[in-house]
Amino acid sequence: MLATVRNPKMWKTLTGRRIFVFSRKLHSLKTIEIPNLYLDEMIWRNLDKWSNKTATVCAETNRSYTYQELYNKSNSIASFLHKFGMVKDDTVAIMLPNIPEYPIVFLGAVQAGVQVTPLNPSFTPGEISRQLLQTNCKLVFCTNEKYTTVLKTLHSAKLYVPIVTINTQNRTLPSSDSIDFDDIAQTSTSNFQQDFQRDVNDTIAIPFSSGTGGHPKGVELTHRNFVSNLHQMCVHEFDLLLSEADGRYTFAMHDHHLIY
């Protein structure tokens, strides 16, 4: 994969296990080793340093979670998925806007060995059903506001998939048939124990393309893809490399504009 930058004096390329970086400040060639880590392992490895810091916050409601809360709730989601009968390489859909609960669901699924396919909340019923069918989705996470849309889509496509709803506006459950996110995320649980074999090349996410050349197509992304990308984005022009994950979900690239 070649990344091109607007500044002609800067270039980066990711190949194999190393990212090569030429710095206009230091004028030297550096290499970054990409560790053999699972994405969740990388995110949580320094949890004790950041446990009481705010990890995610909603700009509209000011609803927030600390890193420790994020970790605990994602473990609860992983345990729920396991008890629900989902096994490694099953797929769940996340149809959520940018809300603090998104990383909880995503990381919980990753820890459970379950693949995630993200759905745009503005998708039409046809777009939703097509993606759910192609990924053989077993569970859908959505907000209360989107429950009716998802339910009607499932019925039309003759899909019998349970729905977990996230309450963002203090509303009652949209249906007695839906599963309340708060109930499963607040369940007290110890660290989720994985009883399956994992590999850094396991698929953990299946986003879909925009479909400019026909119908949207799923793209399989692995632990390795995510970890490599995060390390790539943590390199900036002063070669201050992030050697320890600080848990931030937004990584500043300064004046580097990468084009893939």
How many Cβ atoms from other residues are within 10 Å of residue 175's Cβ? 13
Mean pLDDT by 10 residues, the chain (260 residues): 36 41 49 87 92 92 92 94 93 96 96 96 94 96 94 92 88 74 80 84 93 84 93 57 39 30
Residues 152, 167: Cα–Cα separation, whole Å: 19
Q: Residue 92's pLDDT is what?
A: 98
Q: Residue 227's pLDDT is what?
A: 93
Q: Give the residue among 113, 131, 112 at the shortest CA–CA distance from 121.
A: 131
Q: Residue 65's pLDDT is what?
A: 94
Residues 201, 17: Cα–Cα separation, whole Å: 13
Q: Residue 18's pLDDT is what?
A: 45
Q: Residue 251's pLDDT is what?
A: 33
Q: Residue 190's pLDDT is what?
A: 62
Q: Residue 214's pLDDT is what?
A: 81
Predicted TM-score of the model (pTM): 0.78
All domains in the chain, ordered by first residue: 1-33+223-260 (no CATH), 39-219 (3.40.50.12780)
